[in-house]
Amino acid sequence: MAKFADVDIVVYVGCGERGNEMADLIAEFEELSDPWSGRKLTERTVLVVNTSNMPVAAREASIYTAVTMAEYYRDMGYHVLFLADSLSRWAEALREISASLEEMPGEEGYPTSLSSRLSAFMERAGVVETLSGTIGSLTMILSVSPPGGDFTEPVTQACLRTTGAFFMLDTQLAHRRHFPAINWFQSYSLYTSDIVEHYRQKVSPDWDDLRTRCNQVLRQEESIREVAEIVGIEGLQDADRLIMRMAERIRNEFLGQNAYSDDAFSPAEKTIGIIREIIVALDGALEKMKKGMSLDEAMK
């Protein structure tokens, strides 16, 4: 994300990370190049490093230190991307400090002010007009690591109440070697209507229709897969097997990406072209099957 983000400055904070992981990250940043300028990625990157063996007060301060740096560049008229990993460890630091101060504990020992602290922090993102008349922006991409994948725990719930978009990383997808392992059913955005209108005007008027069809195919495949586990693929009707094949194309050709190739970044025009090709192939195959063709014949 830091490499392909179309921004002026990237601010990354590792809050409570393992020392060896931070060392690997710094080494990797040194090797990466900025695809927009062709220069070293580190020239536009600020790294705030806080390892797990540092004092708990430093873990709390690291997040605020990094976001203050990001706001400084935003107020200068730059477009800034703020990456934080992870808010869960920051919340744990807040819990330890709250316990040391003998404050009244809330759910699971977290301070009762956890939700307001998180929302006040996230509200520092946004677009501003500087005193010089230029436009600056601060975009936040924050990670949360719920223990045991429990989304009902307080930190995750507090983030979900405040944030406008959520990407769920699915361990099952990762085990299937599907990257990025983003669960397309659990992830959501509250800005869909605004984004769709933008892409309708700037890219293609059928953007929302193709997005909806893509989502429908994936949901149909999910329900068909449950039946296939009982009766087997051979026991399915041709129309159901067609849906499964097209859903596989959507996963492999559209949703799956390789972060280490030049194709890791896809312009909007290319994105809509890929999904349009898959949906057109699906509709064409369905029409052929209505005329009595078999699945193999319709797929040719």
Domain spans of the chain, in order of start? 9-163, 200-299
Number of CB atoms found within 10 A of residue 177's CB: 8
CATH code: domain 9-163 is: 3.40.50.300
Of the candidates 168, 76, 67, which has an alpha carbon nearest to the alpha carbon of residue 122?
Answer: 67
pLDDT at position 8: 95
pLDDT at position 260: 65
* Residue 108, CA atoms < 13 Å, CB-side half-sphere: 14
Of the candidates 78, 71, 80, 70, which has an alpha carbon nearest to the alpha carbon of residue 48?
Answer: 70
Return the exposure string of 197-208: e unless at least 16 CB atoms fall within 10 Å of the residue's CB, then b: eebeeeebeebb
**9-163 with 200-299: one CATH topology?**
no
C-beta of residue 10 within 8 angstroms of C-beta of residue 43: no
pLDDT at position 299: 85
For helices 114-122 and 87-100, angle between their N-to-C axes, nearest 10 degrees: 140
Residue type, 32: L
Say whether 104 sits in a helix, a strand or coil: coil
DSSP string, 74-100: HHTT-EEEEEEE-HHHHHHHHHHHHHH
pLDDT at position 128: 95
For residue 182, the cross-strand partners are: 169
Say whether 59 sits in a helix, a strand or coil: helix
pLDDT at position 164: 87
Asked if CATH classification 1.10.1140.10 holds for the domain at 200-299, the reply, yes or no, is yes
pLDDT at position 262: 62
C-beta of residue 274 within 8 angstroms of C-beta of residue 254: yes
In this predicted model, what pLDDT tens digit does every residue of 189-236 receive, in sequence order? 998 888 999 999 999 999 999 999 999 999 999 999 888 888 888 888
Q: How far apart are CA 12 and CA 24, in angstroms?
A: 14
Residue type, 171: T
DSSP state of 170: P
Tokens of 231: 């009766």
183: left (phi over 0), alpha (psi -120 to 50) or beta: beta
CA distances in angstroms from 218 to 100, 125, 171, 173, listed in the order given: 49, 33, 18, 14
Residues of the chain under the 70 pLDDT cut? 259-264
The vertex-76 CA angle with 75 and 81, nearest 5°, equals 70
pLDDT at position 176: 86
C-beta of residue 87 within 8 angstroms of C-beta of residue 117: no
pLDDT at position 261: 65
pLDDT at position 1: 86
DSSP state of 190: T
Alpha helix (H) ranges present in the chain?
19-31, 56-75, 87-100, 114-122, 154-162, 171-175, 192-202, 207-231, 238-249, 268-290, 295-299
pLDDT at position 63: 94
